[in-house]
């Protein structure tokens, strides 16, 4: 998409986009509370069950890389429909699986659908007209948070039935949403016959070598999503290890996502009053502190809820800031969204490894490190836009 004006969403399309984010938010948030159920159902250890989070985000990374290539050849609407079909097949497979390898395969497929949808919708929305761009990004990503609030409650209500009834219902909803993609105007890019993806990657890499901008944007999103995915995935296990009940631990996971949703809805008006960069930096610093405080048992539940509020603006406002700072350069959004999926693979995998090597009490410290690295990386982007503009 060479011009932001080429991409538009009708009102019904925005509602459908919110429905998509609601669904993938619920699926994404369900895996963490399901870890103990998955462990019992398939007869694997808790750290092994925790690898489900990394497998899911590995599929998401595949989805992002696929979208990067496919969006050069077909319309955004077609990509969205294909991703919803893949998500439906993955959810149906999860519901039917009885063997561990097959289960992981279908989790990978659900992740692929999630990654393609998350990347494509965020990229298309970031390419719409600028006046209400941040509001659109925050509103649609808030729907993700709302779905993530519902996910743990669904697990709490259905328990082991979530893996069958819950995922079967998700498959049906994905099919309905696939039929509702009218109103998304995102035509095939005019330069679809231009340079091959490999050449585009080499050109992006040259920019990275000269300025380090794309690499730092990617690293920031990798670390942030590592913190977000790791937090959502390990709240229940960590609080349970501290002696809190399973019901309270699951409720804290929902409260984390609820705080994130409320934060995203409330931050939209601030875009006209505070520089976007300052919002992201302050939020990231608060996230690191909140996660560190989760190491104190008596305040751990409250610290996780505060972490959700702190995390709220980082993903969508960061995308809006990148679009504002590097207008017309879709590589910033592409690198950020691709790296975010890699963060979903790396973060939970590192935490699972740390838990296996030490104990589950290491979780808050590991999460805080991811958040601190996000802050430091974003802080280093001061002046990056100037150097890029001068080149």
* Chain segment 60-87, per-residue pLDDT in tens: 989 989 998 898 888 889 999 999 999 9
CA–CA dist 43, 114 (Å, integer): 27
Mean pLDDT, rounded, for 184-204: 53
Coil, helix or strand for 87?
helix
Beta strand extents in 108-263 (DSSP E only) = 184-185
Third-level CATH fold of 4-187+196-386: Growth Hormone; Chain: A; (1.20.1250)
Strands (E), 161-213: 184-185
pLDDT for the residue 319: 86
pLDDT of residue 129: 73
The yes-or-no verdict on residue 219 having pLDDT over 90 is yes
pLDDT at 390 over 70: no
What pLDDT is attached to residue 1?
40
The pTM of the full predicted model, rounded to 2 decimals, is 0.77
Q: Dump pLDDT digits (tens) for 287-324.
A: 999 999 999 999 999 999 999 999 999 998 998 888 78
Instruction: Tell me what the pLDDT averaged over the chain comes to.
Output: 86
Q: 8 phi and psi, to 5 degrees?
A: -150, 150
pLDDT tens-digit map of 241-256: 999 998 899 899 889 9
Q: What is the mean pLDDT of residues 146-167?
A: 91
Confidence tier at 189 by pLDDT (50, 70, 90): low
Distance, CA of 2 to CA of 257 (rounded, Å):
35
pLDDT at residue number 152: 85
Q: Where are the domains of the chain?
A: 4-187+196-386
pLDDT exceeds cutoff 80 at 238: yes
Most confident range, picked from 129-138, 185-194, 244-253: 244-253
Helix (H/G/I), strand (E/B), else coil: 239 = helix
List b or e across 273-307, with b for residues whose CB sees 16 or more CB atoms inside 10 angstroms. eeebbebbbebbbbbbebbbbbbeeeebbebbbbb
Q: Which residues pair with 8 in a beta bridge?
A: 185
Q: Enter the tokens of residue 275.
A: 């520089």
Q: What percent of the chain has pLDDT over 70?
A: 88
* DSSP reduced 3-state for 14: helix
Three-class secondary structure of residue 307 per DSSP: helix
Please say if the pLDDT value at position 336 is more than 50. yes
Strands 184-185 and 8-9: antiparallel
Position of tokens 């948030």?
29
Q: What was the pLDDT predicted at 209? A: 43
Q: Is the pLDDT of residue 115 over 60?
A: yes
* pLDDT tens, position by position, 164-185: 999 999 999 999 999 888 888 8
Question: What pLDDT, on a 0 to 100 scale, did the predictor assign at position 190?
Answer: 52
CB atoms within 10 A of CB 155: 26
201 pLDDT above the threshold of 50:
no
- 213-219 average pLDDT score: 87
């Amino acid at each position: 998409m060479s011009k932001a004006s080429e991409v538009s969403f009708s009102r019904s399309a925005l509602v459908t986009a919110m429905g998509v984010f609601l669904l993938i938010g619920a699926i994404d948030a369900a895996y963490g509370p399901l870890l103990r159920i998955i462990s019992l159902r398939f007869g694997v250890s808790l750290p092994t069950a925790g690898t489900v989070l990394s497998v899911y985000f590995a599929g998401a990374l595949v989805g992002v890389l696929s979208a990067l290539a496919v969006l050069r050849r077909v319309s955004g609407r077609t990509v969205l429909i294909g991703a919803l079909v893949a998500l439906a097949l993955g959810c149906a497979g999860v519901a039917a699986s009885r063997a561990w390898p097959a289960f992981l395969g279908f989790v990978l497929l659900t992740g692929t659908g999630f990654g393609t949808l998350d990347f494509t919708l965020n990229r298309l929305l970031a390419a719409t007209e600028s006046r209400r761009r941040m509001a659109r990004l925050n509103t649609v990503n808030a729907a993700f948070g709302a779905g993530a609030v519902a996910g743990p409650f669904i697990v709490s209500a259905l328990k082991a039935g979530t893996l069958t009834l819950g995922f079967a219902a998700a498959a049906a909803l994905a099919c309905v949403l696939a039929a509702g993609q009218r109103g998304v105007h995102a035509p095939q890019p005019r330069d679809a016959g231009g340079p091959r993806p490999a050449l585009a990657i080499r050109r992006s890499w040259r920019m990275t070598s000269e300025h380090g901008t794309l690499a730092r944007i990617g690293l920031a999103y990798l670390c942030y999503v590592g913190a977000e995915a790791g937090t959502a995935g390990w709240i229940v296990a960590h609080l349970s290890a501290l002696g809190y009940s399973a019901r309270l631990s699951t409720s804290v996971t929902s409260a984390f996502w609820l705080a994130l949703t409320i934060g995203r809805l409330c931050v939209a008006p601030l875009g006209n009053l505070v520089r976007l960069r300052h919002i992201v930096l302050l939020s990231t610093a608060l996230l690191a502190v909140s996660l560190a405080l989760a190491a104190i048992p008596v305040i751990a539940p409250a610290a996780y809820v505060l972490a959700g509020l702190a995390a709220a603006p980082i993903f969508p406002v960061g995308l809006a800031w990148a679009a504002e700072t590097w207008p017309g350069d879709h590589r910033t959004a592409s690198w950020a969204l691709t790296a975010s999926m890699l963060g979903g693979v790396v973060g939970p995998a590192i935490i699972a490894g740390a838990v296996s090597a030490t104990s589950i009490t290491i979780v808050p410290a590991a999460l805080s490190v991811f958040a601190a690295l996000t802050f430091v990386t974003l802080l280093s982007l001061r002046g990056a836009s100037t150097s890029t503009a001068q080149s």
